[in-house]
Amino acid sequence: MGCLSTDGQFVFGTIVVVVNIKVLISSYQYSVINVAFTMLGIVSFFVVFALLSSMVGYELTGDFVHLYSSPETYLVLFFFAFAYILIDSGLQQANVEITSWMLK
């Protein structure tokens, strides 16, 4: 508990959340099914991580509770997810502006 495997699980969980949100936003397809599959992908990671963390004698034992009992974890996860969305949206808008400027 509290070693590099916990940090690695947090980074991997953050990547899962950010990539799923990025795929949803970049696809420009906002239907109930697409949002449901995105949420299912995110939730399935956390469910599997919680199950593996609850197994006694396993390498990840207790990591889920240790990691996600801290409010800072949610703050950092929220920051990375939405900062990435803002940066991506800004770059897309900049691309549109540069393209329109070059075509003048």
Per-residue pLDDT of the chain (104 residues; tens, 9 = 90+): 557 777 788 888 888 888 888 888 888 778 899 889 989 999 998 898 888 888 877 777 777 777 778 888 888 888 888 888 788 888 888 988 999 888 87
- The Cα-based distances of 1 to 5, 50, 70, 89, 96 in angstroms read 8, 14, 14, 37, 47
Closest CA to 28 of 88, 77, 100: 88
Q: How many domains does the chain have?
A: 1
Other C-beta atoms closer than 10 Å to the C-beta of 77 total 16
Q: Domain range for residue 97? A: 4-102
Whole-angstrom distance, CA of residue 102 vs CA of residue 28: 25
